[in-house]
Structure 1
Amino acid sequence: MKQFRSLIIAAALVVSATAHAHEPRKGPNGGTLVDAGVHHVELVAAGSEVKVYVSDVADAPLPSDGFTGMAILLIDGKPTRVPLASTGAFLSGPLATPSEGPVKGAVQLTGPDGKTSQAKFN
């Protein structure tokens, strides 16, 4: 019975730690940083441009070379599709309506290895 109780406590700690790891947080570039599979993704809306920074699970920045993506963002209450292209340090796409600060939506990325990941921003 003691072993079973220890197992339940260990499982609860793992679930708690995992849930905490997925909480959105402020990223190093001023945007919102979320977990997306094996990557962390930071979304920054600045004027008429959206920037997406990709890092590994240890938060080390990754070059955007080889990544492609699409952002679907809620701008002025309307869903807006923004194709993302590599610019070296980050992926970037144009916004038809300028926006500043946190935005809601999702970013889907395809990595250089062909695997996809998705980041949700609430």
Structure 2
Amino acid sequence: MILSRVTLAAGLLAATAAYAHETTGQHGGRVADAGKFHVELVTKGETVDVFLLDEGQKPVPTSGFKGTAILVVGGKPTRVPLEPADGNRLSGRAAVAVGESPKGAVQLTGPDGATASGKFN
């Protein structure tokens, strides 16, 4: 009886954690938690765009932010520097096409020097 309750609780926690970490955003990309922010990763060809949102899913201006997307392309890590573009978007170009849903992470540094990262599976 206790074992079945523990198994059920573990299953529910795992399902909740998986659901909470990555969803689909308003730009069609994947959204992941990144500290006190949410980041939406959108890739097309060599272009990597990251949209920055607060905990309430409202856009956060990216002025003063910098970042790096570290994505797995062809089994190897590819680093893409990200710079503020317009509004709540950071953008960069990879040396090669990264695909539609690459695995990896986005690391951000805010204007205040605080860092955050979001992981994409």
Q: TM-score, normalised by structure 2?
A: 0.81
Distance in 2 (alpha carbons) for counterparts of 1:43 and 1:30: 9
Which residue of structure 2 lines up, in the alignment, with residue 9 of structure 1?
A: none
Q: Whose strand fraction is larger, Structure 1's or Structure 2's?
A: 1
CA RMSD of aligned residues (A): 2.0
- Determine what percentage of the aligned residue pairs are the same residue: 49
Amino acid across the alignment from 1:45: T
Deviation of the 1:88 alpha carbon? 1.9
Q: How does 1:102-121 map onto structure 2 within 5 Å?
A: 102-121=101-120
Q: TM-score, normalised by structure 1?
A: 0.80
Question: Would the alpha carbon gap of residues 67 and 32 (structure 1) be closer, same or farther in structure 2, given more than 3 Å must change?
Answer: same
1:35-90 CA-partner distances (Å, limit 9, x unpaired): 11100001111112100000000000111111100111001211101111111221
Which residue of structure 1 lines up, in the alignment, with residue 60 of structure 2?
A: 62
Amino acid across the alignment from 2:114: K
Distance in 1 (alpha carbons) for counterparts of 2:52 and 2:66: 11
Which residue of structure 2 lines up, in the alignment, with residue 37 of structure 1?
A: 35
5+ residue gaps in structure 2? 1-8
How many residues are paired up? 109
5+ residue gaps in structure 1? 1-11
Larger radius of gyration: 1
1:11-55 CA-partner distances (Å, limit 9, x unpaired): x8xx95x73673300011111001111000011111121000000
